[in-house]
Amino acid sequence: MSLVDIRGVHKHFGSNHVLKGIDLAVEPGEVVAIIGRSGSGKSTLLRTLNGLESIDAGEIEVDGTALKAHQDSAEQLRSLRLKVGMVFQQFNLFPHLSAGENIMLATTVVQGMDQESARDTAKAMLLKVGLQDKFDAYPDQLSGGQQQRVAIARALAMSPRVLLCDEITSALDPELVNEVLAVVKQLAAEGMTLIMVTHEMRFAREVGDKLVFMYQGLVHEYGDPRELFAQPRTPELASFISSVM
Protein backbone atom coordinates (compact mmCIF):
# COMPACT_ATOMS: atom_id res chain seq x y z
CA MET A 1 0.00 0.00 0.00
CA SER A 2 1.16 3.51 -0.79
CA LEU A 3 2.06 5.97 1.93
CA VAL A 4 -0.06 8.69 0.36
CA ASP A 5 -3.12 7.85 -1.69
CA ILE A 6 -5.09 10.53 -3.46
CA ARG A 7 -8.24 9.26 -5.14
CA GLY A 8 -10.59 11.29 -7.30
CA VAL A 9 -10.07 14.55 -5.45
CA HIS A 10 -12.15 17.53 -6.54
CA LYS A 11 -12.00 21.05 -5.21
CA HIS A 12 -14.02 24.14 -6.08
CA PHE A 13 -13.50 27.71 -5.01
CA GLY A 14 -16.98 29.03 -5.68
CA SER A 15 -17.58 28.42 -9.37
CA ASN A 16 -13.87 27.88 -10.00
CA HIS A 17 -13.29 24.14 -10.42
CA VAL A 18 -9.64 23.98 -9.33
CA LEU A 19 -8.99 20.26 -8.84
CA LYS A 20 -10.88 18.09 -11.31
CA GLY A 21 -10.31 14.55 -10.12
CA ILE A 22 -6.75 14.05 -8.93
CA ASP A 23 -5.39 10.52 -8.58
CA LEU A 24 -1.89 10.10 -7.25
CA ALA A 25 -0.03 7.61 -5.11
CA VAL A 26 3.22 8.26 -3.29
CA GLU A 27 5.40 5.45 -2.00
CA PRO A 28 7.48 5.68 1.20
CA GLY A 29 10.77 7.44 0.57
CA GLU A 30 9.69 8.86 -2.75
CA VAL A 31 10.46 12.42 -3.78
CA VAL A 32 7.63 13.79 -5.88
CA ALA A 33 8.10 17.08 -7.69
CA ILE A 34 4.96 18.89 -8.81
CA ILE A 35 5.29 21.40 -11.61
CA GLY A 36 2.84 23.34 -13.73
CA ARG A 37 1.68 26.79 -14.69
CA SER A 38 0.46 29.35 -12.21
CA GLY A 39 -3.14 28.59 -11.30
CA SER A 40 -3.02 24.93 -12.32
CA GLY A 41 -3.86 23.91 -8.74
CA LYS A 42 -0.46 22.83 -7.39
CA SER A 43 -0.72 24.64 -4.07
CA THR A 44 -4.34 23.68 -3.66
CA LEU A 45 -3.51 20.01 -4.13
CA LEU A 46 -0.69 20.19 -1.61
CA ARG A 47 -2.89 22.00 0.90
CA THR A 48 -5.63 19.39 0.67
CA LEU A 49 -3.08 16.81 1.80
CA ASN A 50 -2.94 18.23 5.32
CA GLY A 51 -6.47 19.56 5.43
CA LEU A 52 -5.65 23.25 4.98
CA GLU A 53 -8.19 23.04 2.15
CA SER A 54 -11.24 20.80 2.42
CA ILE A 55 -12.14 18.65 -0.57
CA ASP A 56 -15.50 18.44 -2.34
CA ALA A 57 -15.21 14.88 -3.59
CA GLY A 58 -12.76 12.02 -3.38
CA GLU A 59 -10.52 10.70 -0.69
CA ILE A 60 -7.07 11.28 0.72
CA GLU A 61 -5.27 8.67 2.74
CA VAL A 62 -1.94 9.11 4.46
CA ASP A 63 -0.44 6.18 6.30
CA GLY A 64 -3.84 4.76 7.19
CA THR A 65 -5.51 8.04 8.09
CA ALA A 66 -8.24 8.83 5.60
CA LEU A 67 -9.96 12.10 4.88
CA LYS A 68 -13.08 12.16 2.73
CA ALA A 69 -15.13 14.99 1.35
CA HIS A 70 -17.29 16.51 4.10
CA GLN A 71 -15.70 14.21 6.65
CA ASP A 72 -12.97 16.14 8.32
CA SER A 73 -13.52 16.32 12.05
CA ALA A 74 -10.98 18.09 14.23
CA GLU A 75 -9.82 14.67 15.41
CA GLN A 76 -9.24 13.39 11.87
CA LEU A 77 -7.42 16.56 10.89
CA ARG A 78 -5.20 16.31 13.92
CA SER A 79 -4.30 12.74 13.22
CA LEU A 80 -3.58 13.56 9.57
CA ARG A 81 -1.47 16.59 10.43
CA LEU A 82 0.62 14.59 12.87
CA LYS A 83 1.73 12.55 9.86
CA VAL A 84 2.11 15.37 7.36
CA GLY A 85 4.54 18.25 7.80
CA MET A 86 4.47 21.37 5.69
CA VAL A 87 6.94 24.08 4.74
CA PHE A 88 5.63 27.28 3.17
CA GLN A 89 6.93 29.75 0.66
CA GLN A 90 6.78 32.56 3.23
CA PHE A 91 8.46 30.52 6.03
CA ASN A 92 5.71 31.49 8.52
CA LEU A 93 7.94 31.24 11.56
CA PHE A 94 6.36 32.49 14.77
CA PRO A 95 7.96 35.94 15.13
CA HIS A 96 7.53 36.17 18.90
CA LEU A 97 9.48 32.96 19.52
CA SER A 98 13.15 32.18 19.06
CA ALA A 99 14.25 29.58 16.52
CA GLY A 100 14.51 26.98 19.26
CA GLU A 101 11.11 27.88 20.71
CA ASN A 102 9.56 27.76 17.24
CA ILE A 103 10.65 24.15 17.01
CA MET A 104 9.73 23.25 20.58
CA LEU A 105 6.22 24.70 20.53
CA ALA A 106 4.35 21.90 18.78
CA THR A 107 6.47 19.10 20.19
CA THR A 108 5.61 20.21 23.72
CA VAL A 109 2.06 21.46 23.23
CA VAL A 110 0.82 18.90 20.70
CA GLN A 111 2.98 15.85 21.33
CA GLY A 112 3.35 16.46 25.04
CA MET A 113 7.13 16.15 25.08
CA ASP A 114 8.79 17.43 28.25
CA GLN A 115 10.86 20.60 28.00
CA GLU A 116 14.17 18.83 28.17
CA SER A 117 13.55 16.29 25.40
CA ALA A 118 11.90 18.98 23.31
CA ARG A 119 15.00 21.13 23.72
CA ASP A 120 17.22 18.21 22.73
CA THR A 121 15.06 17.48 19.71
CA ALA A 122 15.09 21.12 18.66
CA LYS A 123 18.87 21.23 18.93
CA ALA A 124 19.22 18.05 16.91
CA MET A 125 16.92 19.44 14.22
CA LEU A 126 18.81 22.73 14.07
CA LEU A 127 22.04 20.75 13.71
CA LYS A 128 20.47 18.83 10.85
CA VAL A 129 19.77 22.05 8.94
CA GLY A 130 23.15 23.54 9.86
CA LEU A 131 21.91 26.15 12.32
CA GLN A 132 23.04 24.69 15.64
CA ASP A 133 24.26 28.13 16.79
CA LYS A 134 20.92 29.87 16.13
CA PHE A 135 18.81 28.33 18.88
CA ASP A 136 18.21 31.67 20.60
CA ALA A 137 17.97 33.83 17.49
CA TYR A 138 14.61 35.38 16.64
CA PRO A 139 13.24 35.07 13.10
CA ASP A 140 13.90 38.72 12.30
CA GLN A 141 17.56 38.19 13.14
CA LEU A 142 17.88 35.46 10.51
CA SER A 143 18.29 35.63 6.74
CA GLY A 144 15.51 34.25 4.56
CA GLY A 145 17.48 31.09 3.89
CA GLN A 146 18.09 30.57 7.59
CA GLN A 147 14.43 31.18 8.42
CA GLN A 148 13.37 28.62 5.85
CA ARG A 149 15.79 26.09 7.31
CA VAL A 150 14.35 26.71 10.77
CA ALA A 151 10.89 26.15 9.28
CA ILE A 152 12.09 22.83 7.89
CA ALA A 153 13.56 21.91 11.26
CA ARG A 154 10.27 22.84 12.94
CA ALA A 155 8.33 20.52 10.64
CA LEU A 156 10.86 17.70 11.03
CA ALA A 157 10.76 17.85 14.82
CA MET A 158 7.24 16.41 14.66
CA SER A 159 8.61 13.31 12.87
CA PRO A 160 6.17 13.51 9.97
CA ARG A 161 5.79 10.57 7.59
CA VAL A 162 5.71 12.94 4.64
CA LEU A 163 6.85 16.51 4.16
CA LEU A 164 5.03 18.95 1.87
CA CYS A 165 7.03 21.83 0.41
CA ASP A 166 5.25 24.61 -1.49
CA GLU A 167 7.78 26.62 -3.50
CA ILE A 168 9.98 26.93 -0.49
CA THR A 169 12.74 28.78 -2.32
CA SER A 170 10.59 31.21 -4.30
CA ALA A 171 10.70 33.99 -1.71
CA LEU A 172 14.48 33.76 -1.33
CA ASP A 173 17.23 35.87 -2.82
CA PRO A 174 18.99 33.77 -5.48
CA GLU A 175 22.17 33.41 -3.45
CA LEU A 176 20.18 31.83 -0.58
CA VAL A 177 18.35 29.23 -2.66
CA ASN A 178 21.08 26.62 -2.62
CA GLU A 179 21.47 26.37 1.14
CA VAL A 180 17.79 25.42 1.38
CA LEU A 181 17.89 23.04 -1.57
CA ALA A 182 20.93 21.35 -0.01
CA VAL A 183 18.89 20.61 3.11
CA VAL A 184 16.04 19.18 1.03
CA LYS A 185 18.46 17.08 -0.96
CA GLN A 186 19.93 15.68 2.22
CA LEU A 187 16.45 14.83 3.52
CA ALA A 188 15.72 13.03 0.28
CA ALA A 189 18.94 11.08 0.61
CA GLU A 190 17.95 10.07 4.14
CA GLY A 191 14.74 8.56 2.81
CA MET A 192 12.25 11.25 3.75
CA THR A 193 9.08 11.15 1.69
CA LEU A 194 8.76 14.54 0.02
CA ILE A 195 6.05 16.13 -2.07
CA MET A 196 7.25 19.44 -3.38
CA VAL A 197 5.81 22.06 -5.65
CA THR A 198 8.78 23.71 -7.26
CA HIS A 199 9.91 26.08 -9.95
CA GLU A 200 13.46 24.74 -9.71
CA MET A 201 13.34 22.48 -12.74
CA ARG A 202 16.92 21.36 -12.46
CA PHE A 203 16.37 20.36 -8.86
CA ALA A 204 13.18 18.49 -9.75
CA ARG A 205 15.05 16.53 -12.38
CA GLU A 206 18.05 15.74 -10.20
CA VAL A 207 16.37 14.94 -6.91
CA GLY A 208 12.88 13.90 -7.91
CA ASP A 209 11.89 10.24 -8.18
CA LYS A 210 8.58 11.18 -9.76
CA LEU A 211 7.42 14.19 -11.69
CA VAL A 212 3.83 15.40 -11.68
CA PHE A 213 2.85 17.94 -14.32
CA MET A 214 -0.40 19.61 -13.41
CA TYR A 215 -2.49 21.22 -16.09
CA GLN A 216 -5.90 22.81 -15.57
CA GLY A 217 -6.64 20.99 -12.34
CA LEU A 218 -5.55 17.54 -13.46
CA VAL A 219 -2.41 15.41 -13.32
CA HIS A 220 -1.57 15.79 -16.98
CA GLU A 221 1.68 13.83 -16.97
CA TYR A 222 3.26 11.59 -14.39
CA GLY A 223 6.49 9.65 -14.50
CA ASP A 224 10.24 9.64 -14.21
CA PRO A 225 11.47 13.25 -14.21
CA ARG A 226 14.53 12.58 -16.38
CA GLU A 227 12.44 10.84 -19.01
CA LEU A 228 9.67 13.40 -19.00
CA PHE A 229 12.05 16.35 -19.22
CA ALA A 230 13.87 14.66 -22.10
CA GLN A 231 10.73 13.47 -23.85
CA PRO A 232 7.50 15.13 -22.79
CA ARG A 233 4.55 13.03 -23.97
CA THR A 234 2.12 15.92 -24.43
CA PRO A 235 2.50 19.27 -26.19
CA GLU A 236 1.35 21.00 -22.95
CA LEU A 237 4.33 19.71 -20.98
CA ALA A 238 6.67 20.36 -23.89
CA SER A 239 5.56 23.96 -24.13
CA PHE A 240 5.73 24.37 -20.34
CA ILE A 241 9.28 23.04 -20.24
CA SER A 242 10.42 25.23 -23.08
CA SER A 243 8.84 28.27 -21.41
CA VAL A 244 10.67 27.78 -18.11
CA MET A 245 14.03 26.43 -19.19
Ligand X SMILES: Nc1ncnc2c1ncn2[C@@H]1O[C@H](COP(=O)(O)OP(=O)(O)OP(=O)(O)O)[C@@H](O)[C@H]1O
How many whole angstroms separate alpha carbon 110 and alpha carbon 102? Answer: 13
**Could you tell me which stretch among 57-65, 83-91, 209-217, 223-231 binds other proteins (CB under 8 A)?**
83-91
Given Mg ion, other proteins, ligand X, none, residue 16, with its beta carbon under 5 to 8 Å by kind, binds ligand X
In the complex, which residues of this chain contact ligand X (CB under 6 A)?
Answer: 13, 16, 18, 36, 38-44
Given ligand X, Mg ion, other proteins, none, residue 193, with its beta carbon under 5 to 8 Å by kind, binds none
Nearest approach, Cβ of residue 22 and ligand X (Å): 11
Contact string (CB under 8 A) for other proteins, positions 55-74, x = contact: -------------------x
CA nearest 128: which of 156, 98, 166?
156
Q: Distance between terminal CA atoms of the chain?
A: 36
Given Mg ion, other proteins, ligand X, none, residue 110, with its beta carbon under 5 to 8 Å by kind, binds other proteins
Quickly count: other Cβ atoms within 10 Å of residue 71's Cβ: 11
43 sits near Mg ion (criterion: CB under 5 A)? yes
How many whole angstroms separate alpha carbon 10 and alpha carbon 111? Answer: 32
**Do the strands 4-13 and 16-26 form a parallel or antiparallel pair, or are they unpaired?**
antiparallel
Q: Which CB sits closer to other proteins, 138 or 215?
A: 138
How many whole angstroms separate alpha carbon 150 and alpha carbon 32? Answer: 22
127 sits near other proteins (criterion: CB under 8 A)? no
Quickly count: other Cβ atoms within 10 Å of residue 92's Cβ: 15
Alpha helix locations (H) across 132-222? 144-156, 174-189, 201-207
**Binding residues vs other proteins (CB under 8 A):** 50-52, 74, 77-78, 81-82, 84-86, 88, 90, 92-96, 105-106, 109-110, 138, 140, 151, 154-155, 158
